[in-house]
Amino acid sequence: MYEKREAIKVSEAVARVMNYTKTGEKEYIDLAEAEGRYLAEDIVADHPIPPFDRSPLDGFAVRSKDTEKATSDNPVKLQVVETVGAGHVSSTSLEAGQAVRVMTGTIMPSSCDAIVMFELATERNEGDQTYIEIKRSFESGDYVSKKGEETKKGEVVVEAGTKITAGVIAVLATFGYSEVPVSKKPVIGIYATGTELLDVDEELQPGKIRNSNAYMIISQIRQSGGEPKYFGKLADDFDLCYEAVSESLTSVDALITTGGVSVGDFDFLPEIYTKLGANVLFNKIAMRPGSVTTVAEKDGQLLFGLSGNPSACFVGFELYVRPWMKTYLQSPKPYLQIVKGSLTADFPKPNPFTRFIRSKVEYDNGRIVASPVGMDKSQVVTSLAYTDALVAVPGGTRGYRSGDEVDILLLSSEGSKEPIKDFMKVREGSL
Ligand SMILES: Nc1nc2c(c(=O)[nH]1)N[C@H]1C(S)=C(S)[C@@H](COP(=O)(O)OP(=O)(O)OC[C@H]3O[C@@H](n4cnc5c(N)ncnc54)[C@H](O)[C@@H]3O)O[C@H]1N2
Ligand code: MOO
Ligand SMILES: [Mg+2]
């Protein structure tokens, strides 16, 4: 029997999901494997950077007071008594009128307090002695890269929840993290439901289509920092689906199903949630695509019932699964980043529900513009290939014109700490 569903707002649906956040445990992994993972701890500098006063130039380490009187007419002459490369420590205690030849990165010789770059010194040999002439004075500290000038000991250099990029890896290596504390990846189970589904390597048959959603979701989970656990596809059979869903819950942090959440005769997810005794957080959202996206909770574990329609499934993941996963990974920015930019094409459809137009963002004269990438229907798959943003057209509007300023949800940005609020309306009347 068909049951009418109450549509809730997108912001409310996200908030209900986020009432069930968890954070992953900490584990240690090899630095070389750490890219793309999320830090489980603040990284605190256990030593200053630079760790010692050093020369930032190839040149000569000098005692500044020896250069006090140097001018172009009256150059000061210093004797070069040693050459030291980075990694070595000067063994000389300098006397007045002496200098040490040093390379970039060399620890400052103890009795020197300034660096004169090669370009500012004239070198000459007299017998077996080398001398330099300097035509200007140097202050104490001139051109010395001071210990701790970049980072003081005890400073937090990277915060917990940060995604590990090449730059973070450089910092971790600097501070000796051969093993990196990261949040365990949330294990997200996936079931694709539908008797019509073929495996990717199967020939098409009448009435059947290939299962694209499972592979799309696997990729979305990885992109959000999680570990997909694909259980396979299920034919539309209640007992089969119930058993499979109920059994899988023991081995995952959350479960995604795709398909079978609407009101069709073979849409079994709603009944499965009932039989499991799960609490349905919502089963209708005032959005397109993905209005039938359903989320249920059993003993604190979430079951994301994404739509079978590919675009609806894609959008449902980005809006509801992703922030939950990012919070598991301790990201301080779990929500989708929203920016304002202009639309490059008319979008004349009236919208009772908020519409998320699959789009691609680009920069035009320094401004962000979003171009819709294909047919705007829930069942469409091909437009997803170019989608890296969703343009939000709020419910109650009569469509937008090219050039209108709109809210753009960026899918390839790390995220935002601000939860989704109501989207900006350009106009309420007809075009
Ligand atoms: N009477 C009504 N009918 C429908 C409503 C409604 O409100 N009243 N909602 C429509 C909307 S909106 C959507 S979205 C779909 C959602 O359907 P389900 O989530 O129940 O998904 P299915 O019925 O299983 O499949 C829908 C569609 O998607 C294809 N599909 C399913 N799984 C996959 C997959 N893994 N890979 C690729 N494509 C998949 C499936 O073949 C169907 O064509 O319901 C509307 N109906
Ligand atoms: O849930 Mo459907 O995708 O809104 O079209
Ligand atoms: Mg259905």
Residue/partner pairs of 219-222 with CB below 8 Å, 24 or more apart? 220/314, 220/317, 220/318, 220/321, 220/322, 221/188, 221/190, 221/256, 221/321, 221/325
User: pLDDT for 316-331, tens place per residue?
Assistant: 999 999 999 999 999 9
* 227 and 173 part of one domain: no
**CA gyration radius, the chain:** 31
d(CA 320, CA 58): 55
349 within a domain of the structure (yes/no): yes
Give the H/E segment covering residue 227. Answer: strand 227-234
Decide: residue 252, CB within 10 A, 0-12 exposed, 13-18 middle, 19+ buried.
buried
Distance 356 CA to ligand 2 centre (A): 11
* 110 and 164 part of one domain: no
Looking at 328, 349, 370, the residue that finishes a domain is 328
* 203 and 296 part of one domain: yes
Residue 217: closest CA among 294, 324, 313, 305: 313
* 341 and 354 part of one domain: yes
What value does the mean pLDDT take over residues 199-222? 98
d(CA 288, CA 139): 67
* 238 and 364 part of one domain: no
Q: Assign 1 a pLDDT band (cuts: 50, 70, 90).
A: low
* 215 and 265 part of one domain: yes
2 within a domain of the structure (yes/no): no
415 within a domain of the structure (yes/no): no
Atom of ligand 1 nearest to the CA of 306: 19
User: Is the minimum distance from the CB of 310 to ligand 2 under 6 angstroms?
Assistant: no
Q: Assign 431 a pLDDT band (cuts: 50, 70, 90).
A: very low
* 210 and 323 part of one domain: yes
* 274 and 364 part of one domain: no
Q: pTM for the full model?
A: 0.93
For residue 427, pLDDT beyond 70 = no
Q: Residue 258 pairs with which residues in a beta bridge?
A: 192, 306
d(CA 16, CA 164): 29
Q: Residue 400 pairs with which residues in a beta bridge?
A: 347
User: Is the minimum distance from the CB of 291 to ligand 2 under 6 angstroms?
Assistant: yes
Ion ligand 3 — residues with CB < 5 Å: 262, 264, 267
Q: Tell me the pairing of strands 337-343 and 367-372.
A: parallel
430 within a domain of the structure (yes/no): no
User: Is the minimum distance from the CB of 292 to ligand 1 under 6 angstroms?
Assistant: yes
226 within a domain of the structure (yes/no): yes
In 3-state terms the chain splits into helix, strand, coil percentages (rounded to 5) of 20, 35, 50
d(CA 234, CA 97): 85
How far is it between the farthest Cα atoms of the chain? 105
d(CA 79, CA 63): 12
- Inter-residue contact 375 to 396 (CB < 8 Å): no
User: pLDDT for 337-366, tens place per residue?
Assistant: 999 999 999 988 777 899 999 999 999 999
For residue 284, pLDDT beyond 50 = yes
Which of helix, strand or coil describes residue 242? helix
Cis amide linkage into residue 50, ω under 30° from 0 = yes
User: Is the minimum distance from the CB of 289 to ligand 2 under 6 angstroms?
Assistant: yes
427 within a domain of the structure (yes/no): no
For residue 429, pLDDT beyond 80 = no
* 43 and 81 part of one domain: no
The total of structural domains in the chain comes to 4
420 within a domain of the structure (yes/no): no
85 within a domain of the structure (yes/no): yes
- 290: containing domain: 10-24+184-328
Looking at 300, 328, 356, the residue that finishes a domain is 328
